[in-house]
Amino acid sequence: MTLFPGAAAPSMTRRLIVWLTLVVTFLWLLAVGLGLVVMEEELAEIFDGTLQDTAERLVPLVVDDLSQRGMPGDAPQQLQTASSSGDHEYLTYQVRDPSGRVLIRSHDAPEQPFETPLKPGFWKDATYQFYTATSEDKQILVQVADAFANRDEALQQGAKALFLPLLLLIPVSVIATWLVVRRAVRPVGDLRREIETKDGGNMEPIDATMLPRELQPIAVSVNLLMTRLRTALDAEREFTSNSAHELRTPIAGALAQTQMLITELTDSANRYRAGQIEASLTRLSHLAEKLLQLSRAEAGIGVADKPADLGHVLEMVMTDFWRSMAEPKRLLLHRAADAALVGPFNEDAFAIVVRNLIENALVHGKADEPVEVFLENGGPVRVVNGATPMTENELYAIRKRFSRGRTEAAGSGLGLSIVERLLGQMNGRLVLLSPASNRSDGFEARVYLESPL
């Protein structure tokens, strides 16, 4: 059974980290996409500008070269291919006359004329972007071509430069987000742990001044709720304690008078009725005693300031039982020679715990089998009695307040509830086993105690 149903719910910290990482990654991709669009436009302008500038600078150089070669502008002749170092050229050009004949071309330029109009300005086909520049007399045309593959390569390189940092950005952002979120939600965890410590034994208010402004209203609301709860619990405890105290005296008096009446009656029918009254008063007295124990358990008496020898307390409780039992040999104590159970626990609280467990074993166990109490060094304390094996559901049910198992014996159904309440204050726990350990039947109650210091 889960104490906190929300413990299996998704973590708020994990959710924040995942969503913040996704948002940062999305924004980065969006920024990269917009950057590529802008980059493509800027690269096109740069390449077009370079293309135009190259063509216009080539025009006077070509005209001068043709003049030195003795080729008049009105009668151009085709020259040999311009020399080149053999390296790949990003820009190729052809020098043409008005008829379209190629006069000079770069190393990578085709021998056939470019399929582009012989007029100044830009022009493009599926592979190249062209720019045509002319001499002043319109007799020389310089056409420079730039392959779109060069622009695509530049754009791809730019995209890699923007996308590759994502491989480092994403894990770094996850770590950074985790650190920031963990630090930011730390007050939420502190508040959760403070609320988890609050129960019937700890109703101290939460210090809201140490919390962020957003969490202070929650702490104030919890404090108000605990104040109302503490008031209600105090009233309930006071009523239970006062009622039990007030009932003990008249019940004891009525029980004594009934017992005297039984000794004086001679008629069997009247003695039977008086016996029934005695049994009812005995059960009522037992219930009043349990209510007193429950009131003390609710008051939080489990922890003490000084260590106590609980082994000695166990022996005292056993002695009380032996003195009041008609058959003391039915109750056995097995204590190891070196067994010790010492801790900062309240002796009265521990006595109530073992008294209830032994009483349950004596009342509900098989009458022809002994009740054995075991104490080894450091615990646990084990109480074993003979009984028909119980199911898991039955073991769970008898832990509830006012709940009883399959038994004809008298009882209030408060014993185990009182035990668990006190053990919760003593940082201990109760384990119920049926069948008992190393047996095929029986019932076993184990008390584990750990020092809360």
What CA–CA distance (Å, rounded) separates 84 from 106? 8
> pLDDT in tens for each of the 453 residues of the chain?
444 445 456 777 788 888 888 888 888 888 888 888 888 888 888 888 888 898 888 888 888 878 777 654 444 444 444 444 555 667 888 888 888 888 888 887 888 888 888 889 998 888 889 999 888 888 888 989 988 888 888 888 888 888 888 788 888 888 888 888 888 888 888 888 888 777 655 677 888 877 888 888 888 888 888 888 778 767 766 776 666 667 667 877 887 888 888 888 878 888 888 888 888 888 777 777 777 777 666 666 666 668 888 888 889 999 998 998 888 889 999 988 778 888 888 888 888 888 889 988 888 888 889 999 998 876 689 999 988 888 888 887 777 765 655 665 555 667 788 888 888 878 788 888 888 888 888 899 998 887 654
193, 307, 312, 377 from 303: Cα distances, Å: 21, 10, 17, 21
Question: Do the beta carbons of residue 286 and residue 255 sit within 8 Å?
Answer: no
Please name each of the domains of the chain with its CATH number: 14-167 (3.30.450), 194-299 (1.10.287), 302-449 (3.30.565.10)
Q: From 44, 215, 73, select the one nearest 131 (Cα to Cα).
A: 44
**How many CB atoms sit inside 10 A of residue 304's CB?**
16
Produce one character per residue of 433-445: b if its CB has 16 or more CB atoms within 10 Å, e if not: bbebeeeeebbbb
Bridge partners of residue 445, in order along the sequence: 383, 432
Question: 259's torsion region: left (phi>0), alpha (psi -120 to 50) or beta?
Answer: alpha
Per-residue pLDDT at 243: 66
Question: Quick one: which of 322, 99, 267 has its CA closest to 275?
Answer: 267
Question: Residue 446: beta bridge partners?
Answer: 382, 431
**Token pair of 407, please?**
């038994």
Contacts of 167 (CB under 8 A, 6+ apart): none
Phi-psi region of 442 (alpha: psi -120 to 50; beta: other; left: phi over 0): left
Q: Is 379 left (phi over 0), alpha (psi -120 to 50) or beta?
A: left
Instruction: For Cα atoms 394, 396, 399, give the angle at the middle one, nearest 5 degrees.
Output: 110
- What's the pLDDT score for residue 84? 47
Q: pTM of the predicted model, to two decimals?
A: 0.47
| Alpha helical stretches, state H, 185-215 | 186-196
199 φ/ψ angles, rounded to the nearest 5 degrees? -155, -165
Res 331: pLDDT: 92
